[in-house]
A and B are shown apart, each in its own frame.
Chain A
Amino acid sequence: EAEVAQSPRYKITEKSQAVAFWCDPISGHATLYWYRQILGQGPELLVQFQDESVVDDSQLPKDRFSAERLKGVDSTLKIQPAELGDSAMYLCASSKTGGGPNTEAFFGQGTRLTVV
């Protein structure tokens, strides 16, 4: 069964360092999402891509976070510099081309980031 792949699963980094997360969506899925989930809370959408274009990044802290999906397939989320408050689970999800609200989203297992 096709899955959304994320790596690494776990990452520990020191504050002020740079960190990057990678996501490979299900093949053929044009829509890709990045979420951040703080322990005990629901996932918070950071950015949504349609192919290589950003659809919404209004919740992305752009002073330190960046996201790209250069060829419209896999995607990278970067934080530079990392802060203690960035410790969270970072989730990637994808949905079918032209998906929209009548389509399910598939989530990866996430990357657990700990900033020390």
Chain B
Amino acid sequence: DAKTTQPNSMESNEEEPVHLPCNHSTISGTDYIHWYRQLPSQGPEYVIHGLTSNVNNRMASLAIAEDRKSSTLILHRATLRDAAVYYCIRYNAGNMLTFGGGTRLMVKP
């Protein structure tokens, strides 16, 4: 039970920002929010993670709601290579890195 809820799929236009939502309403104080993505025929790839504060790295930004019950992965300019399944995962020391169904992002040229 991954305990996160994501839309099954989303579409975006190339070079536009993409906001991928994730709901984790039962999150505990020690749960980190991780995002991974999986391109076709490849293993998952780490994107970003955070606990309470918003996080930025070269791939994306992670915005975590103040109550931590939801978060949003932000791709600032989508490219065709960003088309993948994006997984939002709650992860703490007591549970394993457990994947749910993810969001399939389609990027249109």
A100 contacts B93, C-beta separation under 8 Å: yes
A107 contacts B93, C-beta separation under 8 Å: no
B residues touching A (Cβ–Cβ < 8 Å)? 2, 30-32, 34, 36, 42-46, 49, 51, 85, 87, 91-93, 96-102
B43 contacts A101, C-beta separation under 8 Å: no
Interface hits, A1-49 → B, CB 8 Å: 4, 33, 35, 41-45, 48
Instruction: Please give me the 10 A-B residue pairs with the lowest Cβ-Cβ distance, nearest first.
Output: A107-B43, A42-B99, A104-B46, A101-B91, A101-B32, A43-B99, A107-B44, A45-B96, A110-B43, A101-B92
Chain B CB within 8 A of A109 CB: yes
A106 contacts B96, C-beta separation under 8 Å: no
State in angstroms the CA–CA spacing of A88 and B25 once bound together: 31
B56 → chain A, closest Cβ, in Å? 15
